[in-house]
Amino acid sequence: MTQTRPRSFQDIILRLQAYWAGQGCAVLQPYDMEVGAGTFHPATTLRSLGARPWAAAYVQPSRRPTDGRYGENPNRLQHYYQYQVLIKPSPPDLQDLYLGSLAAIGLDPALHDIRFVEDDWESPTLGAWGLGWEVWCDGMEVSQFTYFQQVGGHDCKPVSGELTYGLERLAMYVLGADHVMDMPFNDPQSPIPLTYGDIFRQTEQEYSRHNFDQADTEMLFQHFKDAEAECERILSADEMDKAGRRIIMAHPAYDQCIKASHLFNLLDARGVISVTERQAYIGRVRALAKKCADAFVRTDAAGVLAAEPV
Amino acid sequence: MPDLLIELFSEEIPARMQARARDDLKKIVTDGLVGAGLTYAGAAAFSTPRRLTLAVEGLTGESAALREERKGPATTAPAAAIEGFLRSTGLTREQLQVRDDKKGQVYFAVMTRPGRKAPEIVAEVLEGAIRNFPWPKSMRWGAGSLRWVRPLHSILCILTDEHGAQVVPLAVDGIAAGNTTRGHRFLSKGAITVTSFDDYAAKLKRAHVVLDPAEREARIWADATNAAFAAGLEVVEDKGLLAEVAGLVEWPVVLLGKIGADFLDLPPEVLQTSMREHQKFFSLRNPNTGRIEGFVTVANTETADHGATILKGNQKVLAARLSDAKFFWENDLRTVRTVGMEGMAAGLAHVTFHNKLGSQADRIGRIAALAREIAPLVGAAPDLAAEAARVVKADLQSAMVGEFPELQGTMGSYYARAEGLPEPVALACKAHYQPLGPSDDVPSEPVSVAVALADKIDTLCGFWAIDEKPTGSKDPFALRRAALGVIRLVLGNGVRIGVFASSSFAFDRHEGQRQQAMREVYQRSRAEFAGLMAELLRTEEGLELSSNDFEERIDDVLTYAGDDAIVGDIARTDLMWRVENPELAARYGGYWDYVEKNPEAQVFTPRNSPANGLAADLLSFFHDRLKVHLRDQGIRHDVIDACLAMPGNDDLTLLVKRAEALAAFLKTDDGENLLQGFRRTNNILTQAEEKDGVEYSFGADPKFAEDESERILFAALDRADATIQPAMQAEDFATAMSAMAALRAPIDAFFTAVQVNSDNPVVRRNRLNLLSRIRAICLSVADLTKIEG
């Protein structure tokens, strides 16, 4: 391994993009909605369903309102980045491909201790689960590695292999930063060097205050109900449009599911959802996710000819 | 005699599943081989994170030919019967033999199955094992349909004899068996061809794989203890962690690190838990101070810098983890110092314990009340026991226990001391959860005992009241463990407590709380209930509800109530009350209006609700658990049954004392013979009583004694009575039983000398009444009719 070590956060992202592009993945852009994790991107949730082969990689900005710490905690953020790879069917050498990506960002297995430690993944909100590992590098979790078994209540056939990298934590380790805000975002030799903190310290403060103290819960509850109703309305619409084309609107409906999920996260951060209600809300989002999955598997993108009634 | 070597090479197998998988592979394959007619000399299974290996020595090269004879129908049997026999044997009529039988000529089928070669059998058995392997969780991958714990990459399967190794032809879902494997993921390159188990194990070792988990464990433990010793520290033993770590590495390399000075003041349990749970580190203790000062991490690889980079990374992760722990610790300490443990516990009012049993705060209230009741019986001050009960679960609200649930109780003890609470209260925080399992210690400090008993009895009563008793193998709320905990607490401390009375008290508290909750809901939605009840009573004239309508009505109620159990309960209680109290109902309307106007009225408990029969049912559950517990200590169940039939059987200490004395007594010759004498007595008496239709229970008079043995028996019974009654009063069962033993000779002599059923009716009646005295004396000690054998 003769590569130079990465010098900045964006260098790590660029290397991952180049590496996975080199492995034949379509390098997508982030989904333009607020999500809790890269898995919510329809390129993962929906595309892991159905028979059509798929290979995509992308950065996904992710929001977890309860994790906000006003930018003070060295590792915790309410807004952070995940790098996500999804390949269907999972190739037999996916572990080796993954290890290649670590080498590409400077984690050489000749010097580091890289291990696959059991971690079964389950997303109650997406009605999804899979088996795999968390990948440890020198005792630190640097990725989730999952073979999807079920999504939205549907068996995954074929099985997708999913890789999720927590970019900040991974980069902090590679770059030797002790506090996320001190990590160089661009090249520290640039004319205008910017740290992660230069870009995100203030937004972490603002969103932490908003999420914990200010978000209007009445409005959020109403929006949750609206998103839920809209999702169901879209899915219950006639499959034939006014010109007689069969168009199932799985993606627009799924947008509403994503919205409901994020609204729930905000309500949770405001502390207005009790323990028992929590389960009920998660169940409501899961019901939406399942309906969206039911709709998607009947579409062309899942590998079903649109003209063919199911 | 070939040797068989099988290796199933996959992506990383979870550490916790490996031991079971080794056993399963060995059992399934060897059972399959034997079932197919092969034999073997020995078998051993091994695992690493990436492989499951089985070596079978001295396998027979082929199975013996099998000859099977089956008797069929008579030659004269109907054609259908003969055809059926042909179908089941797969033969034709010409192939059948005809033999003479007792009843005439009979068809016989003689079938020979040729022997099969080992490779064919091995291939079949192994494919079956792979396809049906009992992984606790398995998965599919890629586009295939095979299931394995993680993707299966290759199968090595060879038979080795003096002519060399031969690959067993076999393919499962496109994976063909071969004679190659791979070494360490990073320290070895390329495929490795093997010819036998010894060759395989040796080549793996050269390729940086230690095949045998026991060897990896031994190596880790030896290296860790040596490294610790050199640093003046000792490794805290942790067998579970050792096995887990050995399942995470193929080539263990021990690295030792020190914990930063900032974190050394954290409680040792916190350091150990954080390091074990998050990092799978072993803790290193300073033998002089008892403090945890270092750690050992086990890497899976050797590096050019001798692990320096790896150790640095691990240390960094640990520092981040311990910073979190320190933050929780300091936060929690600040909380207890400002608002105390009770303040910390305040939030438990909003934490549900169980949706039918109220909040954790409700639960704590009940436990405190019960602990106060129990305290005097265990030598604890009631106020102190109640105070302890109010704070022992406070740490469930602490940040530390939120992060590490297994530290519940342990943290409570630290926080109680930090607040300056009395030491017995601090001890109880941890000890009231004990005993946690059959091998865990039983607390002995009185406050701990009182709260531990109250906690467990409250839990049992709660789940009994809502009918969530353990069934078969299902015991989701660990109620068997709770009952055994009560038994061990009682016996271990010689506590004299009536579990029936204590559980009745707890049932009443549960019912009181349930009524309170119902009342509150009723008051909030009075109008809706009025509507609901009117609807339910609609078709009736006045309140002429009969019990027959009852179940139907309750179904209606539940339909109305939807998922809301409490609404159903409120209406149900009201309905039941109206049926049982028609006059009050006519005057007040419903139950809930009645209790509002008569707050001092006794709580109405419907017939199928708590308190009625529940305490008795729970007591018999305790008795069942006690039998299991005592059986493990060598006391027979019938001995316990004999004691259970006696009064005071909810006093478990008394019960066991009696059972122990009885068991010891029955082991003596006198005991054994007295039991025979008692049985004879009881049989004669029972038969006579059945025949005569009377009970011979008193009035035996020595003046009707005809024989000397009779007079001696009268005297002996008087003596026994005089000793046994006071001994029983004093619970001195040994004395009572030895007095009973003294009856053996006079009873034997009596039966030898006289005929009970004398022709003289007066003498006969007197003798039967005499036997009745024997029976009464024996039964006053234990119910000997329950003794078997």
Q: pLDDT tier at B611 (50, 70, 90 boundaries)?
A: low
Chain B partners within 8 Å of A183 (Cβ): none
- Give the residue on A whose Cα is nearest the Cα of B13: A118
Interface residue B300 vs chain A (CB under 8 A): yes
pLDDT at B96: 87
Phi/psi at B343 (5° precision): -65, -40
- Which residue in chain A is spatially nearest to B278 when comparing CA positions? A139
% of chain B surpassing 70 pLDDT: 95
Average pLDDT for chain A: 93
pLDDT at B710 over 60: yes
Q: Nearest Cβ partner of A276 from B248, B305, B352?
A: B352
| Helix ranges, B633-707 (H) | 637-644, 652-667, 669-692
Per-residue pLDDT, averaged over B259-287, amounts to 94
Task: Enumerate residues 6+ apart whose C-beta is below 8 A from B612.
Answer: B605
Tens of pLDDT, residue by residue over B366-390, are 999 999 999 999 999 999 999 999 9
Helix, strand or coil, per DSSP, at residue B167: strand
Report the C-alpha gap between A269 and B738 in whole angstroms.
73
Tokens of A278: 């929590």
State the virtual CA torsion across B222, B228, B234, B239 in degrees, nearest 10: -40
Taking CA–CA distances from B318, the nearest residue in chain A reads A139
| Per-residue pLDDT at B342 | 92
pLDDT tens for B550-590 read 666 666 666 666 556 677 778 778 887 887 888 888 888 78
Q: How far apart are the first and last CA of chain B?
A: 52
Q: Is the pLDDT of residue B698 over 70?
A: yes
**Average confidence (pLDDT) over B687-698:** 86
> A59-99, pLDDT tens digit by residue?
999 999 988 989 988 888 999 999 999 999 999 999 999 99
- Inter-chain residue contact A131 with B49, CB threshold 8 Å: no
Is B606 a residue whose pLDDT tops 70? no
Mean pLDDT of B149-175: 96
Looking at residue A308, its pLDDT comes to: 45
Answer whether A274 sits within 8 Å of B186, measured CB to CB: no
Counting every residue written for chain A, the total comes to 310
pLDDT reported for residue B545 = 56
The pLDDT value recorded for residue B562 is 59
Average predicted confidence (pLDDT) for chain B: 90
In this predicted model, which residue has the larger pLDDT, B93 or A207? A207
Q: How confident is the model at residue B591 (pLDDT cuts 50, 70, 90)?
A: confident
B20 touches chain A (CB under 8 A): no
Residue that wins the pLDDT comparison between B636 and B233: B233
**Which residue of chain B comes nearest to A160, CA vs CA?**
B142
Using CA atoms, how far residue A278 sits from A220, A261, A265, A274, in Å, is 15, 12, 10, 6
pLDDT for the residue B608: 47
Minimal Cβ distance to A138: which of B143, B309, B320: B309
* C-alpha distance from A206 to closest chain B C-alpha (Å): 23
Given this model, what pLDDT does residue A1 score? 44
Range scoring the smallest mean pLDDT among A286-295, B293-302, B673-682:
B673-682
For residue A233, count other CB atoms closer than 10 A to its CB. 11
> From the list B12, B137, B313, which residue is nearest A140 (CB)?
B313
Spatial CA neighbour of B25 closest among B191, B159, B148, B179: B148
ipTM of this predicted structure? 0.93
**Residue B735 pLDDT greater than 80, yes or no:** yes
Residues 6+ apart with CB under 8 A from B322: B259, B260, B262, B263, B266, B271, B274
Query: In B300-359, which ranges are continuous DSSP H helix?
Result: 308-345
The whole-number pLDDT of residue A307 equals 42
**Residue B150 is encoded by which pair of tokens?**
């993680």
β-pair type (B352-354, B282-285) = unpaired
B514 or A203: which leads in pLDDT: A203
Q: How confident is the model at residue A10 (pLDDT cuts 50, 70, 90)?
A: very high
Reported as a pLDDT band with limits 50, 70 and 90, residue A309 is very low
E strand or H helix at B51: strand B51-57
Interface of A with B (CB under 8 A): 74-75, 89-92, 95, 109-118, 120, 130-133, 137-140, 147, 149, 156-159, 161, 173, 178, 274-276
Mean pLDDT over residues B660-669, rounded? 90
A111–B309 CB contact, under 8 Å: yes
pLDDT reported for residue B694: 84
Spatial separation of the C-alpha atoms in residues A294 and A305, rounded to whole Å: 15
Q: How many CB pairs under 8 A join A and B?
A: 107
* Nearest one of A117, A143, A116, A121 to A131, comparing CA atoms: A121
Q: Are A130 and B139 in contact (CB < 8 Å)?
A: yes
Per-residue buried b or exposed e for B117-127, using 16+ beta carbons within 10 Å of the residue's own CB: ebbebbbbbbb
Q: What tens digit of pLDDT does each residue of B418-439 get?
A: 999 999 999 999 999 999 888 8
| Mean pLDDT along residues B26-49 | 96
SS (H, E, C) B570-581: HHHHHHHHHHHC
Distance CA A6, CA A17 (A): 14
Question: Is a pLDDT exceeding 70 seen at residue A310?
Answer: no
- With the CA atoms of B495, B497, B500 and B503 taken in that order, what torsion angle do they form, in degrees rounded to the nearest 10? -90
Please report the pLDDT score of residue B60 as a whole number: 94
pLDDT for the residue numbered B539: 56
Residue B174 distance to chain A (closest CA, Å): 13
Beta bridge partners of B7: B53, B156
Measured between CB atoms, which of B15, B138, B314 is closest to A118? B15
Per-residue pLDDT at B695: 85
Question: How many residues does this entry show for chain B?
Answer: 789
Q: What is the mean pLDDT of residues B197-226?
A: 98
**Exposed/middle/buried for B392, CB within 10 Å: 0-12, 13-18, 19+?**
buried
Residue A151 has pLDDT above 60, yes or no: yes
Strand partners, B299: B253
Name chain B contacts of A138, Cβ cutoff 8 Å: 309-310, 312-314, 317
CA pair distance B180, B200, nearest whole angstrom: 9
| Residues of chain B positioned with their CB less than 8 A from the CB of A158 | 142-144
* pLDDT confidence band for A107 (50 / 70 / 90): very high
Using an 8 Å CB-CB cutoff, list chain A residues near B16: 118
B452 or B517: whose pLDDT is higher?
B452
Residue A194 has pLDDT above 80, yes or no: yes
